[in-house]
Amino acid sequence: MRKSISTFTLGSFLAILPVTGALASEPDASVTAKAPPPSSVAAPVESASPFDVTSPEAAEAMARHYRDEAQRYRAMGGFTYKAGLVQRAEADAAKYAALAAELRGPVSVALPRSPEAERYAQLAAQYRRFGGVAYKAGLVQWAEAQQRKYEPAVPADAVAMQQPNQSCRSTKPVVCFQLGVR
């Protein structure tokens, strides 16, 4: 009995298999036209490499494009959030906005250092070469404090312009630390 059931199952499977293959290969004559996708569902634009953008204007245009794309995705509804399309577009917009700001670059104002400040800067460097003993004794900190004391006063807006961009585009904290960026 068991042998006849398995033989029957195997035989029917082998008999049906060529029929399903033939049915799948025949095109359906009733469906011939394909509708284009709706204009509201645009194909995602491939991210351009940040190295492709060389001017602040181009970076700002890319940021504007991705902000518009994020707005369009938000209007589509929840599935775009679930698929991560809104988040990706917002992240790209932020990336290109930061790149535009970086390409514009801060205007650095080089103020001349007084001779006293220069002397204490050299003294602090000399103390640093002594190593831990100079740090424990407070000599390095004292020389740095004296150097700051004799440096010219800088207006608050000039200090803001001299600050480096605080966004680190690296994913490795060690690189950010070595560059002095938080």
pLDDT value of position 151: 85
Instruction: Report which DSSP code applies to 34.
Output: -
Mean of the pLDDT values across residues 134-153?
Answer: 90
Q: Could you state, in order of their start, the residue ranges of all structural domains in the chain? A: 56-104, 115-179
Give the pLDDT confidence of 10-67 residue by residue, as tens digits: 566 566 655 555 555 555 555 555 555 555 545 545 555 545 778 889 999 999 999 9
Which one has a higher pLDDT value, 159 or 126? Answer: 126
Is pTM beyond 0.85? Reply is no
Q: Is the pLDDT of residue 110 over 90?
A: no
pLDDT value of position 11: 65
Give the pLDDT confidence of 73-108 residue by residue, as tens digits: 999 988 998 999 999 999 999 999 988 888 887 756
Give the pLDDT confidence of 144-167 residue by residue, as tens digits: 999 999 887 765 555 555 555 555
- DSSP string for residues in 11-37: HHHHHHHHHHHHHHHSPPTT----PPP
pLDDT value of position 112: 80
Report how far residue 23's alpha carbon sits from residue 8's, in angstroms, rounded to the nearest whole number.
23
Q: Give the CA distances from residue 173 to residues 50, 67, 110, 166, 177, in Å, rounded to whole numbers and listed in that order.
A: 20, 28, 29, 13, 6
